Amino acid sequence: MPFLNHHSAPLFDFADMSALGSPRFILTVDTEEEFDWNGPFSRQGYGTEHLKAVPKFQDLCDRFGIKPCYMVDYPIMEDAFGVDMLSGFVHAGRAEIGVQLHPWVNPPFDEMLSPANSYACNLPPDLERAKLTNLYNRIVGRTGIKPDSYRAGRYGAGAATADILVDLGISIDSSVRARFDYSEQGGPNYTHHPVHPYWIQKGALLELPLTTIFAGAMRSAGNVVYGEWFGSHAARSVLARSSMIERIALTPEGIPLEKAIEGIDLALQEGVSIINLSFHSPSLAAGCTPYVRTQEHLDDLYDWFIHVFQHLLENGVRPANMAEIRTASQLNCPT
């Protein structure tokens, strides 16, 4: 099952994750540079100052026994402080490192800067491979760690991505933002992709989608109602206010705590085996993303994490990490 822009529900080869024993959750961090989210794509002008705020977040994860996976991109691997800090976390057994490709700041720079080319899936396959290979080698060379997971920046995985990842020895992809459609921006359409882990290449590459849940009276038909019939923001707002249907992405960025708790409970009702929480690392410092503009917003972010972690643990949902997920997926995978 390659990454494709499906307009009807495809068949998926779901992975047997029963070896995990119970539902689990994982925390993935898009660990990336600070940039103007409303400005044009640029190869310069970004920053990495927010990395100084990451140790506080890591300490919180340690308190809850969580080993986050930092999906790092090229500018992070160019920052000496970031390299030392993140590799130190990994070597101490506190975290994992994955790969995240932002094409516009990742050499080689053989493409024109454009919104379409910000999705790696739109690049020529040889250029996507060159950028990903360059990034992978940069991570290994600077940290001594061979990453085993990947997320495409802007969720831009495509038809060529799977073979590139397998050739690099990466066995888990987490690029699919299930139940989201980026096709109007030139990106992938994940409207009909599930929230359950599935095989992209059996036994070689597992997809671990970001968790998005539909709530409301029409939630069972969410992919069609929300994803196809009511595409406008105004229509979706009306549906949410009337409690007919609402999409809840499990992230602290733009999702209130009470909605996240509701989404977790619904995910468990749906039998989701791995709840994949995610956010962007610049949100750990006020003023670096649209979601965290003030110290009050930052306090709310930490409050969100604390209550979500507590709720998961109180419901018997323990943290997992990429290494455990890889092992569990292989145990019941027919060869």
Structure tokens at 275: 């709840």
**How would you class 300 by CB atoms within 10 Å of its CB: exposed for 0-12, middle for 13-18, buried for 19 or more?**
middle
**pLDDT given for residue 147 in this prediction:** 98
Convert the pLDDT of each residue in 236-276 to its tens digit. Answer: 454 445 456 789 999 999 999 999 999 999 999 999 999 99
How far is it, in rounded angstroms, from Cα 10 to Cα 20? 26
**pLDDT given for residue 243 in this prediction:** 52
Phi and psi torsions of 36, nearest 5°: -80, 110
**pLDDT given for residue 245 in this prediction:** 77
List of the chain residues with pLDDT < 70: 1-10, 217-244, 335
pTM of the model: 0.93
Convert the pLDDT of each residue in 72-104 to its tens digit. Answer: 999 999 999 999 999 999 999 999 999 999 999
- Coil vs helix vs strand at 150: strand
The Cα angle at residue 276 between residues 275 and 282, in degrees rounded to 5: 145
**pLDDT given for residue 218 in this prediction:** 55
How far is it, in rounded angstroms, from Cα 258 to Cα 183? 30
Helix, strand, coil distribution of the chain in percent, nearest 5: 45, 15, 40
Q: How far apart are the first and last CA of the chain?
A: 17
**pLDDT given for residue 10 in this prediction:** 60
* Consecutive H or E run containing 109: none
